[in-house]
Amino acid sequence: MKEFLHNFNSVIIENALADGTITKTDVARELLNIPYDIDLEKLRTENVAQVGNELEEVFSKVSEGCATAGNPCEGLDVVRNGITFIHSMARTITMKCRELFASHSSLAHAVWLSAVPTEIENYRKMLKETLDSFENPKSYQDLSADEVASLILLYTYKRRLEHPIAFLEQAAAVHKAGSLHQETLESEIDNVITLKATTLGLKNEYSFEESQKKLKSIAKLAENTASVISTGSVDPLIRKMHSFVLVNNLRFFTIKERNFTHGFYNGGHDYVEYFDNLDSRSSENNVLLNSPRESLKNYLVHSSALSKEIKPSLEVFFKLERV
């Protein structure tokens, strides 16, 4: 999961470059929302050096908070692992730009080095919220290690879901026909938070057993989706991304128009409808097909066939939901 999150942009851009969809840095700037007044080289030199030190400082504070609460970091492996991964990425980022992306190094700088500062800041804020939660004495002492880890995961999701306006506006534009409204998306976001909260019993209206049943249905979807997506000509990393989005049902991964998961709302129906529209040239229902950004449109169409293979797994999920 951590690797997916922190390589999300690079997977998209790297594959777009590999099949020739994107050839210009300006397109990458647009896809990654990098303002033209930002010097990519300056971004590279100013941000990387301090990442590791900042993370170590944050983790030490979390450790102190756990110790103060009477339990020295039991159940916080997810935090430690996440920081270790980001720290490692920061230490190797120059090498990746020089070697892995040697054929288009300037774009690699844009992909990796623009994403790191934002991800780090989000992670630091999440950790601060988690640490703050330890100051509330209501139940921390009674939580198991697994529950603490789940609580931290919940904070991660909440942090990513608390500021959805940018992608809500984009979704409204993509679905301008009126089938998907901002209120609907806000409700979906609340559903994601509620689902994660119920696994800890944080909402009394749902029992722990009911939440576990919900999670088992998602696990079943994971099993079916994995078998469907494991075949075909689509790049393995792209298949992995599709699988991750489907299995976890996390709508917040739809970030404006820089990937092809715009339509994954309403349990997946809009996701399938979106690609069907692309495939059938129903441009009146899709802003992107009328967009002058041909490279973006072509890359979206490139993966449209995958939606047809996803339908059986979605049907399995819906059946389990009704059990």
260 and 182 both lie in a single domain: yes
176 and 270 both lie in a single domain: yes
Which residue among 142, 162, 182 closes a domain? 162
323 and 176 both lie in a single domain: yes
What is the structure's pLDDT at 64?
54
15 and 144 both lie in a single domain: yes
Which residue among 162, 191, 221 closes a domain? 162
Q: Which range of residues forms the domain containing residue 11? A: 1-162
157 and 205 both lie in a single domain: no
308 and 258 both lie in a single domain: yes
Would the pLDDT of 148 be above 50? yes
Which of 109-113, 221-225, 292-296 reaches the highest mean pLDDT?
221-225
Mean pLDDT value of segment 29-45: 49
pTM for this entry: 0.20
What is the structure's pLDDT at 247?
34
148 and 278 both lie in a single domain: no
Query: Which pairs with CB-CB distance under 8 Å and at least 24 residues apart come from 193-201?
Result: 193/154, 193/157, 193/158, 193/161, 196/150, 196/153, 196/154, 196/157, 196/158, 197/154, 199/150, 199/154, 200/147, 200/150, 200/151, 200/154
154 and 192 both lie in a single domain: no
133 and 222 both lie in a single domain: no
pLDDT band per the 50, 70, 90 thresholds, residue 227: very low
The better pLDDT of the pair 39, 15 is held by 39
Q: Please give the tally of structural domains in the chain.
A: 2
What is the structure's pLDDT at 35?
55
118 and 201 both lie in a single domain: no
Reported in sequence order, the residue ranges of 81-188 that DSSP labels E, i.e. its strands, are: none
pLDDT band per the 50, 70, 90 thresholds, residue 305: very low
The better pLDDT of the pair 264, 55 is held by 55
What is the structure's pLDDT at 26?
55
Would the pLDDT of 151 be above 50? yes
Mean pLDDT value of segment 19-39: 50
Which residue among 162, 196, 222 closes a domain? 162
